[in-house]
Amino acid sequence: NRGKLSFENRIALSKCPAAVKLFTIMAQKSTNLCLAADVLDIKKILQLADEVGPLICIFKIHADIIENYSDKERDELKNIATRHNFMIMEDRKLADIGNTVRMQFNQISKWANLITVHSIPGFGVLEAIKNAENFNPDVGVFLVAELSSENNLITPDYTKKTMALAEKYSTLVAGIVCQFPTAFTNPGFIQMTPGVNIEESIVNDSLGQQYNTPAKVIVERKADIAVVGRGIVNSSNPADIAEKYRQKLWAAYLSRVQ
Ligand code: 5IU
């Protein structure tokens, strides 16, 4: 039962260097919170990273929505990540043929530690990353096995086949983005689950996103890391609300492993 094992005890069960690093950060900082910084303004992103950095294990961005994201800002974000000991995830959800993904990965791996990938293209997408010119073994993949959005097209068979790919590329795959504990059993993979809000009354948005509470995703759904975006980013005091999320998520994790 992977949900009962502590992050410390799972370090030795992973074959992926990025997962080892992530488990270590989570245990050291007592946090299983990933901030989804879906923000356009690079100044605001850097400010968020600096304020919330001590409270998170991953700072997740969509680089393609950031205005004026230049090399200077990439370096600045990297410095903040080093200072506060969190990993930078680019949530690009690579989903093209291997040859294209190889080139995308070469760019993204210059500044991101983790990257999300769709399994839809088949083995080529992971094979391409493994064979990318400047392949950096410290960069890890999170493979999308399930989505949080209502009426999405992923089937149980797709999830199962996605996990077969994850097992085949377990030195590269740090974890799985999914919604349910049934998606996988291997405790070496880290379950990351988006669609999380502290307010029980907030169950969706107008575009298909679905939300669950921290306790539900960590205890019932066996998420190791909860992804929180608007619940924190839209607040007038992100650091305060992020600390609330961190405490709730970590308490839920502790209740699960004991
Ligand atoms: N995200 C999801 N659902 C998914 C996957 C990724 O919401 O199934 I895969 C991303 C999208 C956004 C963040 O960056 O997680 C959730 O943001 P909110 O907490 O603001 O809904």
pTM more than 0.95: yes
6 is in an annotated binding site: no
Query: What single-letter amino acid sits at 222?
Result: K
Q: Nearest 5°: phi and psi at 228?
A: -125, 125
Ligand 1 in contact with 229 (CB < 6 A)? yes
pLDDT of residue 134: 79
Q: What angle do CA 231, 232, 235 make, to 5 degrees?
A: 95
Check pocket membership of 36 for ligand 1, CB cut-off 6 A. yes
Per residue in 97-120, pLDDT (tens digit) is 999 999 999 999 999 999 999 999
Mutate to test the pocket of ligand 1, among 146, 227, 235, 249 (most ligand atoms within 8 A of CB): 227
Closest CA to 86 of 137, 30, 39: 30
> What is the number of other CB atoms lying within 10 angstroms of the CB of residue 257?
12
Find the DSSP H helices in the chain: 7-10, 17-29, 42-52, 71-84, 98-108, 124-130, 156-168, 214-215, 230-233, 238-257
Distance from the alpha carbon of residue 236 to the mean position of ligand 1, in angstroms: 20
* 60 annotated binding-site participant: yes
| Intervals of the chain under pLDDT 50 | none
Its ipTM equals 0.99
User: What is the Cα–Cα distance from 94 to 91, expressed in whole angstroms?
Assistant: 8
Q: How far, in Å, is the centroid of ligand 1 from the Cα of 237?
A: 21
> Whose CA is closest to atom 19 on ligand 1?
229
Bridge partners for 192 per DSSP: 177, 225
